[in-house]
Every structure is written in structure tokens, then in C-alpha cells.
Amino acid sequence: MITKRPITPTVSISGFPLPLPYRLFFLLVEPLATLAGAYYAHFDQQTYLTLSHAPSAPFTIPLGMSITMSQLGNMYFAFAMIEALVLRSTSDLRVWKTLLFCLLVADVGHLLSIRALGTQIYWNVAVWNAIDWGNVLFVYVGRAAVEMPYPETFTGFQVHGPDTWLEFHKNEFTPKPFGDYDVDIKIECCGVCASDIHTISGGWGKQHYPLAVGHEIVGTAIRVGPKVTLVKVGQRVGVGAQSWSCLDCRQCKNDNETYCRKQLDTYGAVWPDTGIVSQGGYSSHVRTHEHWVFPIPDALPSTIAAPMLCAGLTAYSPLVRNGASPGKKVGIVGLGGIGHLAVLFSKALGAKTWVISRSHAKESDAFALGADGYLATSDPNWNEPHVMTFDLIINTANSFEGFDLDAYLSLLDVHAKWVNVGLPEGDVRVKSQTFLKNGCFFGTSHLGSRREMLEMLGLAAEKGIRTWVEEVKIGEEGLRKALGRLHRGDVRYRFVLTGYQEVFGRE
Ligand SMILES: NC(=O)c1ccc[n+]([C@@H]2O[C@H](COP(=O)([O-])OP(=O)(O)OC[C@H]3O[C@@H](n4cnc5c(N)ncnc54)[C@H](OP(=O)(O)O)[C@@H]3O)[C@@H](O)[C@H]2O)c1
Ligand SMILES: [Zn+2]
Ligand SMILES: [Zn+2]
């Protein structure tokens, strides 16, 4: 299931990419315009074109050098101007630094021209310089208007309330203000996580509507804040389920930013300073702090990588934190989006891996994914042969319906661990006695850290791990179909929304 990525040729001066057509346009237009300017400026065209010195020239400065310099300065200046205008990057200090640098280069070139061509072109030079500086002033004064069309509003498929959670409306929304560490990402595809359903259907409680969900995002960074160092414009990047934490507390400093008390989710969270509700990846763009923006290795196609950003990390973190490795026997409860990636990563980490599913329906898939064994809880006494043999069980079930916790826990060896990652809407009752027979530990894991995300993507690239993906085109119809089927458990094993360019059609 390899998807081809379109290649958009870009060049970057001052850190911003310039699409090829603009590049060609300015390469040709600038010299032609300068020659036309020379003609209309009425100074000695012959001198200019033959690159010889005017008789009145007081010094013999190489004319070719002075003209080349002003040309280079002008061209560079034009690039920077167009970057500022086309890419609306005028709030970024680097654009202004580049513009000023170009102007100085051009001005020196112009001054050298005076020395080469003689003082008769003094007024021409004064006019060229005034026009250049005037242009910069124009961009500076007009920058608010220039920035407005992009990317101040994004477009997304939002749900308006829990009763109509399968009805998606294409709305425009305003993201949080662009911060120094923010990255704007033009989204290419997004996985559909069971959490999206728990959220929009109101199963996890009250939400802020209208809301666009989706937190398995892959796209291209199109704008980076002035203090961003982890991401470059034009880079293919991903965003998962978390988008912010304080990065200052004990947890954040210990690679536990997912447990920070101030952590914010990619969708449905309220940004404290503005009250704006974060919107997810069923949208044209997403604006995210660089710490939660992850470069995608070239070896991973976008649709394969997208589900790893939530489901993959949610599986990977508890596996590595709880010792999944050669010699260990790991159980994965539930073969869904997270479950199938848990099997792939547990195997990649070298553990013996068993799938614990409700029926035999997914047995052949489990073995195709690389599982070493398969238990179906619908079989009578399904747990008996394996009682007290597992070192770790990751539970990905998103419901506790008919969930016989005692039978599952009986599988664990002494003091072995049960880790929930599934977050069902209901609850399950436990007593101390529940854990008595083997003294097992019972806990929950939330996503994973940036370090684990980068490690996981690296491992996936290195080992050629492939998510099992079913692609669906984003839109009212595609979303209704994908989320409806996921709700019924009818997916093998992750829906990924695609076709963003066609549907949103924005740069
Ligand atoms: N902790 C975190 O950080 C985190 C992050 C992301 C998502 N989540 C949560 O993780 C859960 C799973 O997400 P997902 O996207 O993987 O969902 P999914 O694709 O729907 O998979 C869930 C799987 O759980 C099993 N299952 C469902 N109901 C069950 C029941 N009553 N008893 C036993 N097994 C049952 C099914 O597998 P079988 O058919 O094989 O039985 C199903 O395929 C969701 O609750 C989601 O919100 C948590
Ligand atoms: Zn998720
Ligand atoms: Zn913190």
C-alpha cells in the first residue's frame, strides 16, 4: 500500500520555500525589467550593453562587476519580496533581515555603477534605490493586509453536537494566534482513531462544538515561527494526539510530557490564553508547537506513518516502558488500530507476542501481522492453558462490555503488568482480591513522549513496519462511512483520510 508523494520543487532563501514557477518568473523577469529600465532611463545604452566605460567615468571600476552585483542584489531582493508577499511570512524577522541585506547589496552595486558610468547616472541610481526602499516600506505597511488571507483561518469538517456526530460540516475556523514556536502544517492525510468517536459522540462527556477531530496527522510544514529549530519549512511532518505541555515541570523534564498537568490535546482542548478550542486533522491545516511536530522518515509513506502518530505511539510507549523484549511473553487484547500496531512493535522489539481477541475472526490476520499465538475469549476456558505465563498485557479494548477482567488478569505471571491503553466509556469494578492470585500490577498508559515518538518512527523505518491501512477520501460522505464502520468494529485495521488537496484546494 505505497502511496506516491507529489514532488514540489522548491528553493529556499531565508528559510522559506519558493515554488518553481515563481523562481523561473523572477529569474527571467528581473533581468528583462532591468534592461527595459536602462533603456527608459536614457543613459548611455550602448555603454551599458557593451559593458565598456563611459568617457566621463572618473575611476575604472569593472563595470561588469558593478552591474552583476546590482543584478544579484535586485534578484535576491525580488526573491525575498515575493517570499514575504506570497508566503505571508512578514511577521518573521528573518524575512526583514533578508530584505535589508538584499537592499544593501543592491545599493552598493548601484553606487559602484556611478563610479563606473559617471555622475550623469546619479539621479537614475537615486531613483532605483528609492524604488527599492519604497517597496520594502510598502510591504511593511501592507503586511497586515497581506497576511490576512493566509493562514489566519483554516477549514475543517466539524461536528456540531453529540446527537449528530456522524454529520460533518465543512466550516472555516480561526486557529490560535501564531506563536514563536509554532508550525503551520498543510495536512496531507489523517488516521481515524477510536478516540475521535468517543469525543464527538459525547461518550467521554461534554465537548466544545463545533469540533473537528483527528490526531494522526501527516502533512508539510509551510510556516515556522521565528524560534523554531526542530522543523524546517517544506519538511514532511506528523502531529499526534498531544499538542502542548509546559515543558518545565518535573514530568516534562523527564520525558513524561504526556503526563504534564498542563498538557493539551490536539483537538477539543481550550488554549488558556485565548479560549480558542484546538481543532484536529479533519482539516486543511493544523498549527502546533514544534515539540509535538515530528519529522517523518523518508522510508515511511504518509498513510502508513499517520496511524503511528497516535495508535503506534500509544502501543510503543507501554511496550518499551514495561520491558517488551526477547524472552518476554506479551499479550495484546483487542486487534484494532492500536492492537495491530502493538503486535507489529512488540514483534519488532523481539518479544513473543500473543493476540487476545474476542473471536477467531481475526486469527489469520494476527498471524499475518507476525503474532506467535492467538487466544479467542469466545472459546470455553480460553485462558486455562496460559494461566500465569504472561510478562505483560496491553489492553486496547475500547469497551468493557462482557469484559471478564479476572480471566484476563489470570494470564499474568507474579507481579507482571496489565496496562490499559483503551479508554472505554464505562467502568470496570476491581477489588484488592482481584490482583491477589498473582500480585499483578494494574495501570494505564497515555500516548508517549517526543523521544519515544522519534524512536518509534525510526524503528518503523528501519524494520519496514507497515500499518494496515484502508484509505478513505475526506468529505461528509467519507467521514460518515469511515466513522460509522469503525464504530461497528468493521476496519482492518486503520482508516486513513486522504484527498486533502482536492477537497480543501488551498496552498
Ligand atoms: N491511552 C491512550 O493514550 C490512548 C490513545 C489513543 C486511543 N486510546 C483508546 O484506545 C482504545 C482503542 O482505540 P483503537 O483506535 O485501537 O480502537 P479500535 O480500532 O476500535 O480497536 C479496539 C479493539 O478493541 C477490541 N474490543 C472492542 N470491544 C471490546 C470488548 N467489549 N471486550 C474486549 N475487546 C473489545 C476489538 O478487538 P477484537 O475484535 O480483536 O476483540 C477492537 O478491534 C479507544 O478506547 C481509544 O480511545 C487511548
Ligand atoms: Zn488516538
Ligand atoms: Zn509540564
CB of 116 closer than 6 angstroms to any ligand 1 atom: no
Q: Calculate the average pLDDT of the chain.
A: 84
Structurally, how many domains does the chain consist of?
3
Task: Give CA separation, 316 vs 204, 299, 319, 461, in Å.
Answer: 24, 19, 5, 14
Which atom of ligand 1 is closest in space to residue 338's alpha carbon?
A: 16
Pair (132, 185) in one structural domain? no
Among candidate residues 120, 147, 174, the one where a domain is terminated: 147
CB atoms within 10 A of CB 278: 23
The pLDDT assigned to 226 comes to 84
CA-nearest of 145, 167, 169, 142 to 158 is 169
Q: Could you write out the three-class secondary structure of 239-281?
A: ECCEEECCCCCHHHHCCCHHHCCCCEECCCCECCCCCCECCCC
Pair (342, 288) in one structural domain? no
Task: Give CA separation, 405 vs 120, 290, 383, 412, 429, in Å.
Answer: 93, 40, 11, 12, 9
Torsion region of 218: left, alpha or beta (phi above 0 gives left; psi -120 to 50 gives alpha): beta
Q: Which ligand is nearest to the CA of 360?
A: 1
CA of 307 to the centre of ligand 1 (A): 14
Pair (80, 103) in one structural domain? yes
Q: Is residue 474 part of a domain?
A: no
Pair (61, 74) in one structural domain? yes
CB of 215 closer than 6 angstroms to any ligand 1 atom: no
CB atoms within 10 A of CB 100: 14
Which residue among 338, 382, 491 is best mutated to probe the pocket of ligand 1, counting the most ligand atoms within 8 A of its Cβ? 338
Q: Is residue 34 part of a domain?
A: yes
Tell me how far apart the alpha carbons of residues 1 and 412 are, in angstroms, rounded to a whole number: 37
CB of 198 closer than 6 angstroms to any ligand 1 atom: yes
Percentage of residues of the chain with pLDDT beyond 70: 73
Which residue among 217, 362, 375, 398 is best mutated to probe the pocket of ligand 1, counting the most ligand atoms within 8 A of its Cβ? 398
Residues in the chain: 507
Q: Which of 68-77, 125-134, 289-298 has the lowest mean pLDDT?
A: 68-77
CB of 489 closer than 6 angstroms to any ligand 1 atom: yes
Q: Is residue 377 part of a domain?
A: yes
CATH value at residue 261: 3.90.180.10
CA of 319 to the centre of ligand 1 (A): 16
Range list of β-strands (E), 133-269 = 154-158, 169-173, 182-191, 217-224, 236-239, 242-244, 264-265
Pair (231, 198) in one structural domain? yes
Pair (206, 350) in one structural domain? no
What cell does 276 get?
Answer: 480558542
What cell does 239 get?
Answer: 502531529
Tell me how far apart the alpha carbons of residues 436 and 408 are, in angstroms, rounded to a whole number: 14
Among candidate residues 114, 147, 180, the one where a domain is terminated: 147
Pair (165, 29) in one structural domain? no
Torsion region of 202: left, alpha or beta (phi above 0 gives left; psi -120 to 50 gives alpha): left
Q: Is residue 489 part of a domain?
A: no
Which atom of ligand 1 is closest in space to residue 335's alpha carbon?
A: 40
**401 versus 48: which is more confidently predicted?**
401
Pair (316, 303) in one structural domain? no
CB of 194 closer than 6 angstroms to any ligand 1 atom: yes
CA of 95 to the centre of ligand 1 (A): 47
What cell does 364 get?
Answer: 489469520
Q: Is residue 451 part of a domain?
A: no
Residue nearest to atom 36 of ligand 1 (CA): 334
CA of 225 to the centre of ligand 2 (A): 27
Among candidate residues 444, 462, 481, the one where a domain is terminated: 444
CATH value at residue 412: 3.40.50.720
Which atom of ligand 1 is closest in space to residue 355's alpha carbon?
A: 40
Expressed as residue numbers, the domain containing 286 is: 154-307+496-504
| Whole-prediction pTM | 0.76
Pair (227, 329) in one structural domain? no
The answer to whether the bond into 9 is cis (omega within 30° of 0) is: no
Tell me how far apart the alpha carbons of residues 466 and 1 are, in angstroms, rounded to a whole number: 9
Q: Is residue 478 part of a domain?
A: no
Q: Is residue 388 part of a domain?
A: yes
170-178 average pLDDT score: 90
Tell me how far apart the alpha carbons of residues 92 and 78 are, in angstroms, rounded to a whole number: 17
In this predicted model, what pLDDT tens digit does every residue of 416-428 receive, in sequence order?
Answer: 999 999 999 988 8
Quick one: 436 exposed, middle or buried, by C-beta within 10 A (0-12, 13-18, 19+)? exposed
The answer to whether the bond into 316 is cis (omega within 30° of 0) is: no
Tell me how far apart the alpha carbons of residues 375 and 331 are, in angstroms, rounded to a whole number: 9
CA-nearest of 445, 180, 151, 156 to 291 is 180
pLDDT at 239 over 50: yes
**Residue for grid cell 482481584:** 434
In this predicted model, what pLDDT tens digit does every residue of 64-111 receive, in sequence order?
Answer: 555 665 666 566 566 666 655 555 454 555 556 666 776 777 677 677
Torsion region of 303: left, alpha or beta (phi above 0 gives left; psi -120 to 50 gives alpha): alpha
pLDDT band at 129 (very low <50, low <70, confident <90, very high): confident
CA of 189 to the centre of ligand 3 (A): 29
Coil/strand/helix, residue 314: helix
Pair (194, 127) in one structural domain? no
CA-nearest of 133, 125, 102, 150 to 48 is 125
CB of 324 closer than 6 angstroms to any ligand 1 atom: no
Pair (167, 298) in one structural domain? yes
Sign of the four-CA dihedral 320, 321, 325, 328: negative
Which atom of ligand 1 is closest in space to residue 486's alpha carbon?
A: 20
Q: Which of 142-156, 310-324, 465-479 has the lowest mean pLDDT?
A: 142-156
Pair (338, 298) in one structural domain? no
Q: Is residue 188 part of a domain?
A: yes
As a whole number of Å, the end-to-end CA separation of the chain is: 26
Q: Which ligand is nearest to the CA of 263?
A: 3
**121 versus 59: which is more confidently predicted?**
121
Residue type, 168: F
The pLDDT assigned to 153 comes to 84
Residue nearest to atom 38 of ligand 1 (CA): 334
Q: Which ligand is nearest to the CA of 256?
A: 3
In this predicted model, what pLDDT tens digit does every residue of 181-223 receive, in sequence order?
Answer: 999 999 999 999 999 999 999 999 999 999 999 999 999 999 8
The pLDDT assigned to 505 comes to 82
